[in-house]
Each structure stands twice: as structure tokens, then as C-alpha cells.
């Protein structure tokens, strides 16, 4: 999208339904999740998803800064989604641009929808997402990492929050777009789903789809989220399952 | 009575009413407040519109100035959208750097305009890589009584629809000409109140809600942008239902933006 440029459009979909990296339309990129990737944070996770590398840390519940944001009947959830200057092809100016601020807002709202915030009045649960290497779908990778980090921090939640982007590529609805597909595709629809209820707590869309395509995209996203949910549970089991965990590490 | 207690009572009241299909201002769940569009409100702008949805008001002004294309889009003009939630419009808005909520409004309005290809940006290119028109879409929210996104988005579309490219003033043509509009995106926002999903929310309904969903549609049957916001969730079926409702309302609002 936004490709009012001179760049040549690569072949995004072969006649036999293969995508630019050989995937089928309903196939995810390789995803690996490591729970507990950092030492100082209360909870953390590292996600490698396709060519994305995203780190997440959770601090809290802790005192609210700045103080006036404090709420008497619940915890607030604050999120900072940030992209490293070197995470994209052309150096990005460091700090939060407007895109990052918008993404931080919708991610914070998504997590506040699943965390039992009433249990921690007057506190803040701070979620930090750092995109180290970007290749489309970084907000979804960030949500997956942050959700595992929240679980790692022992924050009580309704459920984990798998997240994926669905898009429209060369006229077809495709799961988990990579960069070329995002840049030259016709639509992008990131979502995050509560597996238990099947409801969406994060949903954005840009591009163009008709109603049928949109319905199809939602269904494909739900299916993608279910697969990602399994991987998230796997990452937490890996860290905490008594059979495989090193006790020292588990207590760290 | 503390504000917190009052807010809680009001929230309970709003949710109770919604159960029986009613709202605090007497509207039905799918009813909009009265919408008025006043194009050409500001004569110093190249295009403008004052839009009111009930007691909510937003003023959009368009300015077109010669500029330089972005290096990665040498053949296209530049479009920038900015929404200001100025402190005069609500006790909850403060002076200072833009709040994330203002950034969200700007970006969601911008997303719809851009994704719908409302204006053909290549037509705003004067000399590839050298010179182009920069189209500034600036929106001031003047009175916040709920549903800022739709008010701002309709103001932006109306102002663009009536914009004149000041080519003569900048010596780029013999005469000024109307900005050409290709598509007409309109955003429609809904909030969940318990099991009910209501259109065009009031401030108190936004405070009481369990999730907000904005859907932008255009006149050729495309969904061009969506944004879920606030705390809460929607099932995929809710989303599909909201999309249908957004098309229905969108067509009506589009005719208002074009009118007058």
C-alpha cells in the first residue's frame, strides 16, 4: 500500500498459489518464541517470526509514573512499542513517531482488555516492545512477545493473546504478510484474538477489500491466531514445565 | 458524590438502557444524531468544512502548497493529515504535545483518505522528483460530545470535496482548478454496550463502552480502513455486522459531504 512509486512490483503470487517465499495463502512464516529472554524484567520474551526479531519486557504491577495517571480501582496498562533505528532498510529516526504511538495505544488497550486490572489498583503494568529487525507484522510479533512476557511475569489474564496480520495479495486473501506483500499488496489487517472467546481485542485495517474478502480475512486470521496460540503455550511450557526446566533458571 | 461514583452510576444506567435497546438521549441503537455539513466555512483555506454530528463539531481546513515529493515516491504529491484535539473543545483535552488519542484520530482519518485513494496523488506531481503539491488536511475538533473520528473524517472529506488548487497564486497555472476527488471514504464508529452495539456514540457511551470499532467504507463497496480502540472486544461476527451497518450509514453520510 501507499506504493505510488516507481518501484517495480514483484510477482507476489504464482499461478499455482505459491507466494513470494513459497508459502501457501494460509501458511504462517516460521515462528519461534522464547519465554524469559531478559534478566532484569519481571517477565520477558523474544520472538523471531520470519525475518522479524522482536523483544518484549514487562515490569509491574508497580508504582505509576507519572502519578496523575494512577487509577483508584484498577491497574493501568502502559505500552511502548518502539522500532530500533537499524531495524528497517533506511535508518529510522530514533524515538516514537506517530505510527509507534498509535500502535502503542491500541496494544495497551488490547492487553487491558484481557488483564485482570481490578486486582492491582493504583499500579501500572508496563509493557515494552522493541522491534530489533522488521519485516512486516511487527505489531503482531510485538503482541505475541508481550503476551508471553506478561504470562512470564505472572500477570493474571483471561487468556494469552495470539496476533497475526491478514492481507490481500495479488487479489487473494493471505495469512501473515511479509514485507514485499505488505508493500505491494492491496490490504493489511492486523488482529489479536482472545482464544477462549474467539473475540478480537486488536483490529486494524488499511487498504481495500470488499465485504466477502473482509469476512474471509477475519476467518483466516482466527485460524492463524489458533496456530500461534499453540506456539505461545509451547514457549511457556518450555520454560516452566517441571520435566524440562532447570530449577535455577525457573526461579530467576 | 465523587466523579468516580457518578461515572459508575452513569455507566450502569447506560448499560441497563442498552439491554432494552434504548439510549440516554432517546436514540435507537443504530440511529445517528443530526449531521450537518457547512462547506466553505473558512475562506482563507483552499477548502474547508464545518461538520456537526449532534453537539460534536469539527472544522477541517485544506491548504495546498508547492513542495518536494518524497524520494521514494517521486511521481506523487504529498498528503498530510493532522487532527488537533484542542483544549477549548473538552475539559479532558489539555494543551501540550499531541496526546496518543489525537494521534489516533489523525492516523485513522488519514488511513481512510489514503487507502481509498481519495485524491490521485500522482495528479499532484508537478515535476517528478522536484516539485509537487503538498496537501495539508488540518482538522480542529471544536466541541467534543462523542464520536470525534467520524466527525473529523466527514469534515476532511467535505473539505477535500470543495477544495480548489491555488495554482494561479503560486504561478503554476493560468487559473485555479478544483481538486479532483476519486473516491469518497466515510468512517462510521460503533461501540459495544454489553451485548448491544450502538452507532455514533456519545462521550458517556464511549466511557461506558466495552470496545469501539471504526469502519471506513467507500462508494464502490470497499472497506478501506478499520480501527478497534478502547478496552473491549468484538467477535468476528460482530465485525461483519458492523461492516454492513457502516456501508448503510456511509452512503447517507457521503451524500451529505457532497451536498450544499
Task: Tell me the mean pLDDT in the region A80-99.
Answer: 94
Q: How confident is the model at residue A252 (pLDDT cuts 50, 70, 90)?
A: very low
Mean pLDDT value across chain B: 95
Among A46-50, A173-177, A240-244, B211-215, the range scoring the smallest mean pLDDT is A240-244
**Closest chain A residue to B123, measured at CA:** A4
Say what the pLDDT of residue A181 is: 95
**Closest chain A residue to B243, measured at CA:** A211
Chain B residues within 8 A of A6 when measuring between CB atoms? 74-75
Chain A residues within 8 A of B98 when measuring between CB atoms? 98
Entry pTM = 0.91
Say what the pLDDT of residue A6 is: 46
Rounded-to-integer distance, Cα A239 and Cα A34, Å:
8
Are A203 and B239 within 8 A, CB to CB? yes
Chain B residues within 8 A of A210 when measuring between CB atoms? 221-223
CB-CB contact of B149 with B253 (8 Å): no
* Domains, chain A: 31-241 (3.30.230.70)
Min CA distance, A136 vs chain B (Å)?
Answer: 17
Any chain B CB within 8 A of the CB of A207?
Answer: yes
Q: How confident is the model at residue A251 (pLDDT cuts 50, 70, 90)?
A: very low
* Residues pairing with A204 in the sheet: B227
Chain A residues within 8 A of B247 when measuring between CB atoms? 211
Task: Tell me the mean pLDDT in the region A167-189.
Answer: 96
**Closest chain A residue to B125, measured at CA:** A4
pLDDT score of A192 more than 50: yes
List the domain boundaries for chain B.
Answer: 22-258
Angle at alpha carbon of residue B151, lines to A109 and B157, rounded to 5°: 115
Rounded-to-integer distance, Cα A87 and Cα A107, Å:
20
Say what the pLDDT of residue A136 is: 97
Are B211 and A102 within 8 A, CB to CB? no
pLDDT score of B162 more than 60: yes
CB nearest to A210's CB, from B76, B222, B229: B222
CB-CB contact of B257 with B36 (8 Å): no
Q: How confident is the model at residue A246 (pLDDT cuts 50, 70, 90)?
A: low
Q: How confident is the model at residue A243 (pLDDT cuts 50, 70, 90)?
A: low
Are A218 and B243 within 8 A, CB to CB? no
pLDDT digits (tens, 9 = 90+) for A109-162: 999 999 999 999 999 999 999 999 999 999 999 999 999 999 999 999 999 999
Rounded-to-integer distance, Cα B174 and Cα B172, Å:
7
Q: Please report, rounded to a whole number, the percentage of residues in chain B having pLDDT higher than 90.
A: 92
**Closest chain B residue to A210, measured at CA:** B222
Q: Which three cell numbers stand for residue B191?
A: 461501540
Contacts of residue B104, defined as CB under 8 A and 6 or more positions apart, other chains included, come to A102, A105, A106, B227, B229
Query: Between A and B, how many residue pairs show a Cβ–Cβ distance under 8 A?
Result: 118
Q: What is the ipTM of this complex?
A: 0.88
Say what the pLDDT of residue A9 is: 78
Say what the pLDDT of residue B200 is: 98
Are A113 and B233 within 8 A, CB to CB? yes
CB-CB contact of A202 with A190 (8 Å): yes
Any chain A CB within 8 A of the CB of B122?
Answer: yes
Say what the pLDDT of residue A241 is: 84
**Closest chain A residue to B124, measured at CA:** A4
Mean pLDDT value across chain A: 93
CB-CB contact of B204 with B10 (8 Å): yes
pLDDT score of B78 more than 90: yes
Say what the pLDDT of residue B28 is: 96
CB nearest to A219's CB, from B228, B236, B238: B236
Ramachandran sector of residue B117 (left: φ over 0; alpha: ψ -120 to 50; beta: rest) = left
Say what the pLDDT of residue B5 is: 85
Say what the pLDDT of residue A7 is: 59
Say what the pLDDT of residue B1 is: 60
CATH of domain B22-258: 3.30.230.70
Amino acid at each position: 500500500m501507499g506504493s505510488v512509486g516507481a518501484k517495480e512490483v514483484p510477482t507476489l503470487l504464482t499461478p499455482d498459489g505459491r507466494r513470494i517465499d513459497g508459502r501457501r495463502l494460509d501458511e504462517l512464516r516460521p515462528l519461534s518464541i522464547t519465554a524469559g529472554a531478559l534478566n532484569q524484567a519481571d517477565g520477558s520474551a523474544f520472538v523471531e517470526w520470519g525475518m522479524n526479531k522482536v523483544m518484549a519486557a514487562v515490569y509491574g504491577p508497580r508504582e505509576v509514573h507519572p502519578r496523575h495517571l494512577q487509577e483508584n480501582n484498577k491497574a493501568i496498562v502502559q505500552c511502548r512499542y518502539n522500532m530500533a533505528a537499524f531495524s528497517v532498510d533506511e535508518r529510522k529516526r530514533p524515538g516514537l513517531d506517530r505510527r509507534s504511538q498509535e500502535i502503542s495505544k491500541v496494544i495497551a488497550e488490547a492487553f487491558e482488555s484481557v488483564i485482570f486490572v481490578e486486582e492491582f489498583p493504583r499500579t501500572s503494568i508496563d509493557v515494552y516492545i522493541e522491534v530489533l529487525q522488521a519485516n512486516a507484522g511487527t505489531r503482531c510479533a510485538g503482541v505475541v512477545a508481550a503476551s508471553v512476557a506478561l504470562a512470564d511475569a505472572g500477570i493474571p489474564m483471561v487468556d494469552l493473546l495470539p496476533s497475526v496480520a491478514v492481507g490481500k495479495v495479488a487479489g487473494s486473501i493471505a495469512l501473515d504478510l511479509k514485507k514485499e506483500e505488505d508493500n505491494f499488496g492491496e490490504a493489511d489487517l492486523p488482529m489479536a484474538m482472545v482464544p477462549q472467546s474467539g473475540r478480537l481485542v486488536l483490529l486494524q485495517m488499511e487498504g481495500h477489500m470488499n465485504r466477502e474478502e473482509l469476512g474471509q480475512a477475519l476467518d483466516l486470521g482466527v485460524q492463524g491466531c489458533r496456530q500461534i496460540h499453540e506456539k505461545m503455550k509451547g514457549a511457556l511450557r518450555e520454560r516452566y514445565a517441571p520435566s524440562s526446566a532447570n530449577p535455577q533458571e525457573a526461579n530467576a | 458524590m465523587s466523579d468516580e461514583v457518578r461515572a459508575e452510576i452513569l455507566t450502569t444506567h447506560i448499560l441497563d438502557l442498552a439491554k432494552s435497546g434504548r439510549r440516554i438521549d432517546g436514540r435507537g441503537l443504530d440511529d445517528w444524531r443530526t449531521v450537518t455539513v457547512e462547506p466553505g466555512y473558512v475562506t482563507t483555506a483552499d477548502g474547508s468544512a464545518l461538520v456537526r454530528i449532534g453537539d460534536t463539531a469539527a472544522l477541517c481546513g485544506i491548504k495546498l502548497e508547492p513542495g518536494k515529493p518524497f524520494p521514494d515516491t517521486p511521481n506523487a504529491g504529498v498528503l498530510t493529515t493532522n487532527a488537533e484535539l484542542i483544549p477549548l473543545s473538552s475539559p479532558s483535552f489539555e494543551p501540550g504535545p499531541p496526546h496518543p488519542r489525537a494521534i489516533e484520530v489523525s492516523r485513522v482519518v488519514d488511513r481512510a483518505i489514503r487507502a481509498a485513494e481519495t485524491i490521485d496523488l500522482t495528479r499532484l506531481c508537478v515535476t517528478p522528483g522536484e516539485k509537487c503539491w503538498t496537501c495539508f488536511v488540518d482538522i480542529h475538533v471544536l466541541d467534543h460530545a462523542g464520536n470525534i473520528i467520524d466527525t473529523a473524517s466527514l469534515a476532511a472529506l467535505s473539505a477535500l470535496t470543495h477544495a480548489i488548487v491555488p495554482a494561479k497564486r503560486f504561478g503554476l497555472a493560468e487559473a485555479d482548478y478544483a481538486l479532483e476527488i476519486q473516491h469518497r471514504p466515510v468512517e462510521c464508529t460503533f461501540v459495544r454496550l454489553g451485548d448491544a452495539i450502538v452507532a455514533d456514540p456519545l462521550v458517556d457511551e464511549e466511557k461506558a463502552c466495552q470496545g469501539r470499532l471504526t469502519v471506513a467504507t467507500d462508494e464502490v463497496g470497499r472497506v478501506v480502513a478499520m480501527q478497534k480502540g478502547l478496552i473491549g472486544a468484538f467477535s468476528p461476527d460482530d465485525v461483519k455486522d458492523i461492516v454492513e451497518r457502516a456501508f448503510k450509514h456511509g452512503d447517507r453520510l457521503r451524500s451529505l459531504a457532497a451536498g450544499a
